[in-house]
Amino acid sequence: MFNVDFTKIVNLLKFDPSDPLLFGSSLFLIVFFFLILFYRIFATSKNARILLLLFFSLFFYYKASGIYFLLLIASSAVNFAFGKFIFESKSAGIKRLLLIFNITLNLGLLGYFKYTNFFIEIINDFKLGTFDPIDIFLPLGISFYTFKAMNYVLDIYLESMEPTKSFRDFSLFVFFFPNILAGPIDRASQFIPQIEQNDLVISKEDIGKALLLIMSGLLKKVVIADYLSLNFIDRVFDSPLRFTGVENLFALYGYGLQIYCDFSGYSDIAIGISLLLGFKLMDNFNSPYQATSIADFWRRWHISLSSWLLDYLFRPIQMKFRNLKMFSNVIAILVTFVLCGLWHGASWMFVFWGLLHGFYMSVSMFLQKPKRMLYQKLGILNSKVLKVFQVLITFHLLAISWVFFRVKSFEEALNIFGQIFNFFDYKIIPQFVEGYTPSFILIVLGYTIHFLPKSLEVKSASILGKINPVFQALILAFVIWFAAQIRSAELQPFIYFQF
């Protein structure tokens, strides 16, 4: 009666490096539906729920990285053991040694998979030797789950938390599929206690919030980020000299929106899916382009990474060099941001991008007092005009930095800036709007929505949470259908997967 081709189904569920389970793909929607179904059936049995999530997460990771799911299990086992050893050891010296060993192990593994070829390139470039690049598979999400697991060990060392006795619970924290490939890099101290809740109770507010996040994440990713990149931004960035300054400038503004929508869209869906499973992950974005300074931006952008770097890298360096007073901040800022750049990928452009942010932050730190005095003199301190001005300046500093994040070489970046400064004619703007109407509308719309007050989001979530579940499902189905219609081609991989 039913002629099901099981080999096809098995092939669909097998590891395929070019086809991870992307949120929003049809396959993900189907398997997630079954997951939720069984998850609800097991609502009263905590153990069954946890096991289901563990196995589903391992399958999710296997689909993206194949045999490297074993690496994930090994990473979890090693970090769990280190957490226990550090906590139980009585001597501060041994604790310290264990921590150093643990950090070396984690970063060594990350370094091998991510940076080996970069170091080979450096050795070759500086003529220190001649080596051929090695073919190394990069297990997806390794930067994210390594940092997640390290946070557990570091917090135990800093006495911010006690280790969990359950290897199962710790593994779920590391494997948890919604945030394993691209964050948020959640904190063990906040996640693990949630596993121990006995009953699965999800409030109406959380359901409303989850639906809103999943829908907005999908629309951000498919409608704004993918559409803009395929139809406008990639074309300009691939050959900037073929376009005028106007197109280059709009591509630069567009890329700021694209990367935000791509990455925060992923985070939104991850947080939304987690809420439906009864877990609250940490916030990862808070309207970052509303920032009034670069420091403010880093409190709003990729919060889970910036707070990780602040707690475990910036603060220790700052304390180590504190005799140098404000210069200890400069050292800590520069080291943190260069490593933050390198965390994103093994290339000089990421290093430069990090360095540029470090430079922005250091300069603004020294200008803080004179600026304050100037604003006081002009009588504009705390005024709206000043805030608008600060947001605009910060946004443009960020837009400049994104160019270095996006391009492959300095030459490409200089070409883009060259076109903007040398071939900009505002009379071309109407022509540009006519030629790229949908992209122009999306850029304007995207930024307008970005600047809407947060209260609107809260209100929408609360309304969505109160309506009948059938209508909720219908609305969600409509948004998924709408996104599928807009989808220009195959769903584009999320930019942050490569990190």
Partner 1 sequence: MISERLHKIICSTLGLQEDEVEIKDDTLANQVPGWDSLNHVNVITAIEKDFAVRFKSIEVLKCKNVGDLQKLVDSKINK
Residues marked as catalytic: 344
Q: Does 318 bind partner 1 (CB under 8 A)?
A: yes
CA-nearest of 487, 497, 4, 461 to 204 is 461
Q: Does 282 bind partner 1 (CB under 8 A)?
A: no
Residue 30 touching partner 1 (CB under 8 A):
no
**Contact in structure between 61 and 69 (CB atoms under 8 Å):** yes
Calculate Rg over the CA atoms of the chain: 24
Other Cβ atoms less than 10 A from the Cβ of 225: the count is 29
User: Within positions 206 to 235, which residues make up the interface with partner 1, using CB under 8 A?
Assistant: none
Residues 384-423 that bind partner 1 (CB under 8 A): none
Nearer to partner 1 by C-beta: 61 or 308?
308
Binding to partner 1 in span 327-346, by CB under 8 A: 328-329
- Work out which of 13, 77, 105, 310 binds partner 1, going by CB under 8 A: 310
Distance between CA atoms of 220 and 266, rounded to whole angstroms? 9
Region binding partner 1 by CB under 8 A among candidate stretches 132-140, 324-332, 376-384, 423-431? 324-332
Of 46, 84, 204, 315, the one binding partner 1 by CB under 8 A? 315
Is residue 316 part of the contact set for partner 1 (CB under 8 A)?
yes
Helix (H) or strand (E) holding 323: none
Among 319, 363, 474, 477, binds partner 1 (CB under 8 A): 319
Closest of 37, 53, 81, 259 to residue 175, by C-alpha = 53
With CA atoms as reference, report the closest residue to 254 among 490, 52, 444. Answer: 444
Question: Is residue 239 part of the contact set for partner 1 (CB under 8 A)?
Answer: no
Asked if residue 322 binds partner 1 (CB under 8 A), the reply is yes
Q: Which is nearer to partner 1, 158 or 456 (CB)?
A: 158
Please, which of residues 121-180 interact with partner 1 by CB under 8 A? Answer: 158-160
Residue 106 touching partner 1 (CB under 8 A): no
- Using a 10 angstrom Cβ sphere, with 0-12 exposed, 13-18 middle and 19 or more buried, the burial of residue 84 is middle
Give the binding range for partner 1 (CB under 8 A) out of 173-181, 317-325, 432-440, 453-461.
Answer: 317-325
In DSSP notation, 429-453 reads HHHHHHHTHHHHHHHHHHHHHHTS-
Is 313 an interacting residue with respect to partner 1 (CB under 8 A)?
Answer: no
C-beta neighbour count of 444 within 10 angstroms: 13
Burial class (CB in 10 A: 0-12, 13-18, 19+), 30: exposed
Give burial (CB, 10 Å; 0-12/13-18/19+) of 400.
middle
- In the set 90, 127, 165, 325, which binds partner 1 (CB under 8 A)? 325
Any residues with CB less than 8 A from the CB of 378 and at least 6 apart, and which?
A: none
Does residue 314 touch partner 1 according to CB under 8 A?
yes
Q: Which of 18, 91, 130, 323 binds partner 1 (CB under 8 A)?
A: 323
Binding site for partner 1 (CB under 8 A): 92, 158-160, 295, 310, 314-316, 318-320, 322-323, 325-326, 328-329, 365
